[in-house]
Amino acid sequence: MPGQRSITQAEKLAEAKLGGIPVRHEQMAVVANIYRAASAVRQHLENSVLRGADLTWTAFVVLWVVWIWGESETRHVAEEAGISKGTLTGVSRTLEKRGLLRRAGHPTDGRLVLLSLTEEGEELMRRVFPAFNEEEAFVAAQLDVDECRSVADGLRRVVLQVEEHGEERRLALLDGAAPAPRRSGRRPQP
């Protein structure tokens, strides 16, 4: 089992590298495996069901959110899909061009844009989602239902921890220092 062994070995090597400074092994293993699992799952789903429907992971997630929640404002969709507003603008326009998504202005608030599925989009989701869910079951096949529940619950606690305390934690770490702006991002007008 390469995953198991290589991570354990990496941890030991890391400890050696740090020369006695304590490493939080279990927490490190959780983070490493969260990321590995996310990549593996995404790759598998993109290369199986999504590729066939000509959808990227992000595009599928956006369609899924709108499908489940019904007509929604873009900021909620971005939030729920876990992408930035800027990304959603591009993705939703691509999906609109393909006739899967509708973009409509809000009747009373001119700032808002509402997203909803077209009939074609609904059809697509009715067809693709069962296959998607089947592959979700495939990737989780080594876990029984109780294990699924407990892993999902543990991950939820991680998400909540970051959502609820992440901001304050980051501020505490910076300790008043400038937030060090990201390298990318739009430049100010001259």
Partner DNA sequence: TCCGTACAATTTGGAGCCGAACGACATCTG
Partner DNA sequence: CAGATGTCGTTCGGCTCCAAATTGTACGGA
Site residues, DNA (CB under 7 A): 39, 43, 46-47, 56-59, 73-75, 78, 82-92, 94, 103, 108-113, 181-189
∠ CA(21), CA(26), CA(31), 5° rounding?
105
Q: Does residue 18 interact with a copy of itself by CB under 8 A? A: yes
**Partner interacting with residue 18 (select from DNA, a copy of itself, none; CB below 5-8 Å by kind):** a copy of itself
Footprint of a copy of itself on residues 71-130 (CB under 8 A)? 80, 82, 125-126, 129-130
By beta-carbon proximity to a copy of itself, the closer residue of 6 and 105 is 6
Given 73, 90, 150, 175, the residue binding a copy of itself (CB under 8 A): 150
d(CA 55, CA 63): 10
By beta-carbon proximity to DNA, the closer residue of 52 and 147 is 52
d(CA 93, CA 29): 39
Q: Which two tokens stand for residue 120?
A: 């074609």
Q: Which two tokens stand for residue 133?
A: 């869910």
Query: Would you call 104 helix, strand, or coil by DSSP?
Result: strand
d(CA 101, CA 92): 7
d(CA 169, CA 49): 39
Distance of closest approach, residue 4 Cβ to DNA, in angstroms:
22
**Partner interacting with residue 133 (select from DNA, a copy of itself, none; CB below 5-8 Å by kind):** a copy of itself
Distance of closest approach, residue 67 Cβ to a copy of itself, in angstroms:
7
